[in-house]
Amino acid sequence: MQYQKICFDAMEVVKEAAVYVRDRHENREGLNIEEKGKQNFVTEVDKKAEQILVSGLSNLLPESGFIAEEGTSNKRGETYNWVIDPVDGTTNFIHGVFPFAISVGLLEKEEIVAGIVYEFGLNEFFYSWKGGGAWLNGDPIQVSGVSTIGQALIATGFPYTNFTYLTEFMNSMDYFMKNSHGLRRLGSAATDIAYVACGRYDGFYEYGLHPWDIAAGILLVREAGGEVSDFDGHKEPLFSGDIICSNRNSYAEFQETIHKIMKPQ
CATH number at residue 25: 3.30.540.10
Peptide bond into 99 cis (omega under 30): yes
Q: Is the dihedral of CA 21, 26, 27, 32 positive or negative?
A: positive
Provide the β-strand partners of residue 134: 128, 141
75 and 203 fall within a common domain: no
**Which CA distances in Å does 119 have to 67, 95, 100, 122?**
20, 16, 6, 6
pLDDT value at position 44?
86
- Whole-angstrom Cα distance, residue 237 to residue 8? 25
90 and 177 fall within a common domain: no
- Whole-angstrom Cα distance, residue 145 to residue 248? 8
Cα atoms in the Cβ-side hemisphere of radius 13 Å centred on 208 = 14
223 and 193 fall within a common domain: yes
127 and 61 fall within a common domain: yes
58 and 176 fall within a common domain: no
pLDDT value at position 1?
84
Return phi, psi of residue 33, to 5°: -115, 125
Would the pTM of this model clear 0.75, i.e. be above it? Answer: yes
pLDDT value at position 35?
63
42 and 125 fall within a common domain: yes
84 and 109 fall within a common domain: yes
Point out the residues of the chain with pLDDT beneath 50.
39
Last residue within a domain, chosen from 140, 174, 192: 140
126 and 250 fall within a common domain: no
196 and 217 fall within a common domain: yes
Domain extent, residue 36, equals: 3-140
131 and 157 fall within a common domain: no
Q: Is the dihedral of CA 210, 76, 5, 8 positive or negative?
A: negative
Last residue within a domain, chosen from 140, 162, 185: 140
The separation between the first and the last C-alpha atoms of the chain, rounded to the nearest angstrom, is 44
119 and 213 fall within a common domain: no
Cα atoms in the Cβ-side hemisphere of radius 13 Å centred on 12 = 9
Last residue within a domain, chosen from 83, 108, 140: 140
Q: For position 250, which CATH number holds?
A: 3.40.190.80
pLDDT value at position 264?
80
- Overall domain count for the chain: 2
pLDDT value at position 162?
82
Largest CA distance in the chain: 51
25 and 132 fall within a common domain: yes
